[in-house]
A and B are shown apart, each in its own frame.
Chain A
Amino acid sequence: MKALVAVKRVIDYNVKIRVKPDHSDVDLTNVKMAMNPFCEIAVEEAVRLKEKGVATEIVAVTIGPKAAQEQLRTALALGADRAIHVETDERVESLGAAKALAKLVEQEQPGLVILGKQAIDSDNNQTGQMLAALTGLPQGTFASAVNVEGDKVQVTREVDGGLQTVELTLPAIVTTDLRLNEPRYAKLPDIMKAKKKPLSVTTPAELGISDASRVKLLKVEPPAERQGGIKVGSVDELVDKLKNEAKVL
């Protein structure tokens, strides 16, 4: 079975973001970029499926600017066999990304597509579900366990209040939650080998889809700053303040 894994280049999760002074967007100039953490988990899961003999080939895909090939090389170093770059400099929305991925699913015919549940830049949490709709495939979102058995996959999902397990027919779309696995680090020899693995480049136009925006970004602002309060000296004083000043007890 072939596994297709989608990865996204985003701001490194350790970087504190800055909003541009003109409030047009977040300032990404000279900011460290990395693979979206949920996508790292997706790559790791695919690699584990290959190690278990369930997946036979792993194809990593990204949609984004030229520089996003760095993240594909990371995926290749972690164990993907080949990569596809859908190159565009436009701001890609979830629906556009899902349409591009749907075309690649049609071409590649994977048994399983694994994506991160959300990217930590736009926090949309949409692409996997949209891809499932466009391809007419079942979805197992927010996965904390993935077990392929024969022509089915059982996905344990992190839902409000606990866990839910569903069984899906293959091919299927899975999106990863944080506790699915702990991604490994790429080893230096694998990083060197990854440079020689095949990476093909296409464009939204070649795939026959439009990446035109449907949602206008009007403004980006920093959130309202919360004012720090006071320090109290004792539990007594705390309870007194909560009762008589804040009036929440």
Chain B
Amino acid sequence: MSILVLAEHHDGALAGATAHVVAAAQAIGGDIDVLVAGEGVGAVAEAAAKLDGVSRVRVADSAAYAHLLAEPTAALVAELAGDYSHVLAAASTTGKNVLPRVAALKDVAQISEIIAVESPDTFKRPIYAGNAIATVQSEDALKVITVRATGFDAVAEGGSAGIEAVDFVADNAQSTFVKEELAQSDRPELGAAKVVISGGRGMGNGENFKLLDGIADKLGAAIGASRAAVDAGFVPNDMQVGQTGKIVAPELYIAVGISGAIQHLAGMKDSKVIVAINKDEEAPIFQVADYGLVADLFEALPELEKEVG
């Protein structure tokens, strides 16, 4: 078997998710190639070559692949897919955008967001917002799969794979990149952070999210939010943890003023240790929390900030 992993990268750096996808590829077994597509992605390719278990990095460096638009990127992956038994990508917005298109171009099914590999053709994946886990078996010769990064521990860095250029340049007259508005933050990204502290509707307003800043600074944490907090306009959408937002599984997850709707739990219940701070002792979040503190968050947060770090 041979596996092609589509690398994820942002701002010229390899994204952490790729090391998790390579781990999923190792669980399947076989030779692992990483495809780095983009414009000016030399450093990304070098970072990918260092991932353990990677035998070769293939680089398609061209303006055609800038911003990894779905149309040219899928055409590229489909062009190369003939050499492989599996094509994998992270279940990120990039992977989810590109891989179904690849699968349809190759006339095969796509398997979304796997969380475990049972065998090279059988995988586990959450359905119904994580309220059930399906075991599915692909009958296609080529398996096209997106991987939920939190389901697999990242591979280490210690490899030195060879880097080869791919000449294929896809035509694309159908889509053009207009602009990107990305949230600027010095904090770790939600999906990769070891500690996440999230606020819910109980925070009251957007201004009060600043109460989380000091704790996040001390713990090196990313700051998240529940959908209720996002819908109430407290914070932007990209901070949302939940089935319809980011799926996280950090070492420590601190839920503050979050009641624990199913939609939120689906996004964080695989965290190693969960702390809930809520003044309503009946809040469902306490049913999944390892440590629950029934308290007014406006009193508990300043105290917590003082005591940690």
Residue positions of A touching B, CB distance < 8 A:
11, 16-17, 19, 26, 93-95, 98, 120-134, 137-139, 141-142, 144, 154, 157-169, 172, 178-179, 214-223, 226, 228-236, 238-239, 241-242, 246, 248-249
B244 at the interface (CB under 8 A from A): yes
Chain A residues lying within 8 Å of B173, measured Cβ to Cβ, are: 169
A125 to B293, CA, bound (A): 37
Q: Are A231 and B128 interface neighbours, CB within 8 A?
A: no
Q: Are B272 and A248 interface neighbours, CB within 8 A?
A: yes
Q: Are B139 and A216 interface neighbours, CB within 8 A?
A: yes
Q: What are 8 A-B pairs with beta-carbon distances under 8 A?
A: A17-B131, A125-B112, A126-B100, A133-B103, A215-B139, A223-B131, A226-B288, A246-B273
Chain B residues lying within 8 Å of A238, measured Cβ to Cβ, are: 275, 291, 293, 304
Q: Are B179 and A122 interface neighbours, CB within 8 A?
A: no
Bitwise interface map of B from 245 to 282 toward A, beta carbon under 8 Å scored 1, else 0: 01000011000000000100000010011110000010
A116 to B168, CA, bound (A): 32
Chain A residues lying within 8 Å of B205, measured Cβ to Cβ, are: none
Q: Are A217 and B136 interface neighbours, CB within 8 A?
A: yes
- Chain B binding surface, main DSSP class: mixed
CB distance from B74 to the nearest CB of A (A): 7
Q: Known A17-B131, A159-B94; judge A239-B308 contact (CB<8 A).
A: yes
A98 to B106, CA, bound (A): 13
A19 to B135, CA, bound (A): 13
Closest to A38 in B: B244
Q: Known A123-B129, A130-B104, A215-B109; judge A160-B191 contact (CB<8 A).
A: yes
Q: Are B273 and A98 interface neighbours, CB within 8 A?
A: no
Q: Are A95 and B180 interface neighbours, CB within 8 A?
A: no
Q: Are A235 and B180 interface neighbours, CB within 8 A?
A: no
**Which of A137, A221, A246 has most chain B Cβ within 10 Å?**
A246
Query: Which 10 A-B pairs have CB atoms at the shortest separation, nearest pair first?
Result: A229-B290, A133-B104, A129-B100, A162-B182, A130-B104, A138-B174, A126-B100, A165-B178, A219-B135, A214-B109
Chain A residues lying within 8 Å of B96, measured Cβ to Cβ, are: 125, 129, 141-142
Chain B residues lying within 8 Å of A19, measured Cβ to Cβ, are: 132
Q: Known A134-B104, A231-B293; judge A164-B180 contact (CB<8 A).
A: yes
Q: Known A229-B290, A229-B291; judge A94-B100 contact (CB<8 A).
A: yes
CB distance from B247 to the nearest CB of A (A): 11
CB distance from A87 to the nearest CB of B (A): 22
B27 at the interface (CB under 8 A from A): no
Q: Tell me which of B127, B129, B137, B286 contacts A218 (CB under 8 A).
A: B137
B117 at the interface (CB under 8 A from A): no
Q: Are A214 and B181 interface neighbours, CB within 8 A?
A: no
A179 to B230, CA, bound (A): 10
For the A-B complex, the count of residue pairs with Cβ-Cβ distances under 8 Å equals 241
Chain B residues lying within 8 Å of A134, measured Cβ to Cβ, are: 104
Residue positions of B touching A, CB distance < 8 A:
10, 67, 69-71, 74, 92-94, 96-105, 107-113, 122, 126-140, 173-183, 189, 191, 195, 219, 237-238, 244, 246, 251-252, 262, 269, 272-275, 281, 286-295, 300, 303-304, 307-308
Q: Are A239 and B100 interface neighbours, CB within 8 A?
A: no
CB distance from A6 to the nearest CB of B (A): 14
CB distance from A182 to the nearest CB of B (A): 10
Chain B residues lying within 8 Å of A158, measured Cβ to Cβ, are: 93, 237-238
Chain A residues lying within 8 Å of B307, measured Cβ to Cβ, are: 235-236, 239
Closest to B189 in A: A161
Q: Are A123 and B112 interface neighbours, CB within 8 A?
A: yes
Chain B residues lying within 8 Å of A248, measured Cβ to Cβ, are: 195, 251-252, 272-273
Q: Are B109 and A133 interface neighbours, CB within 8 A?
A: no
Chain B residues lying within 8 Å of A216, measured Cβ to Cβ, are: 136-137, 139
Q: Tell me which of A17, A132, A133 contacts B132 (CB under 8 A).
A: A17
Chain B residues lying within 8 Å of A132, measured Cβ to Cβ, are: 70-71, 101, 104
A142 to B101, CA, bound (A): 14
Q: Are A178 and B244 interface neighbours, CB within 8 A?
A: yes
Chain B residues lying within 8 Å of A221, measured Cβ to Cβ, are: 132-133, 135
A239 to B309, CA, bound (A): 10
Q: Known A138-B175, A220-B127, A228-B286; judge A95-B269 contact (CB<8 A).
A: no
Q: Known A141-B96, A218-B137, A248-B251; judge A126-B129 contact (CB<8 A).
A: no
Q: Tell me which of A138, A157, A169, A235 contacts B295 (CB under 8 A).
A: A235
CB distance from B130 to the nearest CB of A (A): 6
CB distance from B303 to the nearest CB of A (A): 4
Chain B residues lying within 8 Å of A26, measured Cβ to Cβ, are: 127-128, 132
**Which of B10, B74, B103 has most chain A Cβ within 10 Å?**
B103
Q: Are A223 and B105 interface neighbours, CB within 8 A?
A: no
Q: Are A232 and B292 interface neighbours, CB within 8 A?
A: yes
Chain B residues lying within 8 Å of A220, measured Cβ to Cβ, are: 127, 132-135
Chain A residues lying within 8 Å of B290, measured Cβ to Cβ, are: 229-230, 246
Q: Known A130-B103, A232-B292, A235-B293; judge A161-B238 contact (CB<8 A).
A: yes
Closest to A243 in B: B308
